[in-house]
Amino acid sequence: MKNSTLVCCKLYISESRNTAALHAIERAARRDPEAVIVNKFEDRVYNRVRYTLVSYVANDVSGGFVYSPLQRTLYAMAEAAFESINLEQHSGTHPRLGAVDHVGFHPLARASLEDAAHLAKLVAADIGNGLQGKNTLQLKSVD
């Protein structure tokens, strides 16, 4: 795609033992084939999973951010996590802030830190506005 770059996202979910919840989250991720899970790390002791996703960021001719499939995919994954994880029944050794615990964005190749930060802000706004009253969330543009 012309005028596009790649961004990586690491999404931490406070669950690794509930396979039904993980399947629901992964089904949500597969809705858009342009955002891809490239790695999944499950920590059974912490009862936490990290998904690493990659997709493009489309920019306009002046280099301004226009769109990334990650925006919709992360929203869908967060929604699935919030619907399928009950933190009152959750146990794990890692401190957690919510069902979706942390979302970090990283520029890849020619992408800029501004692209990653802008996408982080859009995802935070989408989840904060669309899933209001759900579990808490921490978003950062860089780990």
Owner of token pair 């396979």? 19
The angle formed by the CA atoms of residues 142, 52 and 57, to the nearest 5 degrees, is 65
User: Which of 94, 102, 106, 118 is the catalytic position?
Assistant: 94
* Residues whose CB is less than 8 angstroms from the CB of residue 54 and which lie 6 or more positions away in sequence, other chains included: 6, 7, 8, 9, 35, 36, 38, 108
Task: Examine the residue annotation and report whether 94 is marked as an active-site residue of this protein.
Answer: yes
The count of other CB atoms within 10 Å of the CB of residue 107 is 20
SS3 content of the chain, % helix, strand, coil (to 5): 35, 30, 35
Rounded alpha-carbon distances, angstroms, from residue 1 to 29, 34, 53, 76? 21, 11, 18, 24
* Residues annotated catalytic, as ranges: 94
